[in-house]
Amino acid sequence: MKKTLLALALIAAGSAQAATITQSAALNLETTEIHQIFNINKFDSALGTLTGVAITLDGEAISSATLTNTAAQAQRFQFGSTLNLYLDGAGLSEVLALNLFNYNSQIQVGQTVNLGTVNPSDSLLINAADLSAFIGTGTTSFTCDSLVSNSQAGGGGNITVVQNTQAGCGLSVVYTYDVPTTPPAQVPEPASMALVGLGMMGLAAIRRRK
């Protein structure tokens, strides 16, 4: 019986409870190209054992564009535009791509084509492989940089492109860690309790005789 109770106590002492800490920074739109910095508090190992770091990069853009044909004749024109958001920090380097425009059509002489305004957004989940970069005191810094790329074909160099773009990054970091649990108080065995009770009764009887 004693061996069984000891084994149960050891199991309880070795168990742990999972917990999480979440830090986040709201997305902020700025005129491209952007360079945004995020400082994330490192994990305090006094809280437990870090088991995972999940990073979510949120990206958004607002972009508008017009195409104007300044040639003496109609022009076939292809125009594409993509926004890449580059996240770097803690040994990580990731890219989130947002498609802005994809135009392929004829533009008449003197015509201005308004491509309107687009507002794409997307998210990228990253699970950090190296947890050591997130443990300690102070902060871990991340940067998010944008790069708007355009591709053009046709037009003979006579298509004027005017584009205005804003972009922003949001960041969320979730620490998952194990918290050691306090072992429960050991309950005396029934047989031990009975012996203690008999001993007390014996002491009481001796005192009465005296």
> Residue ranges per domain, the chain?
15-209
Q: Is the pLDDT of residue 39 over 90?
A: yes
Which pLDDT belongs to residue 8? 28
pLDDT range class, residue 207, cuts 50, 70, 90? low
Q: Count Cα atoms within 13 angstroms, Cβ side, for 21.
A: 18
When pLDDT is averaged across residues 144-156 and rounded to a whole number, the result is 96
pLDDT range class, residue 20, cuts 50, 70, 90? very high
pTM for the whole thing? Answer: 0.79
Q: Is the pLDDT of residue 76 over 80?
A: yes
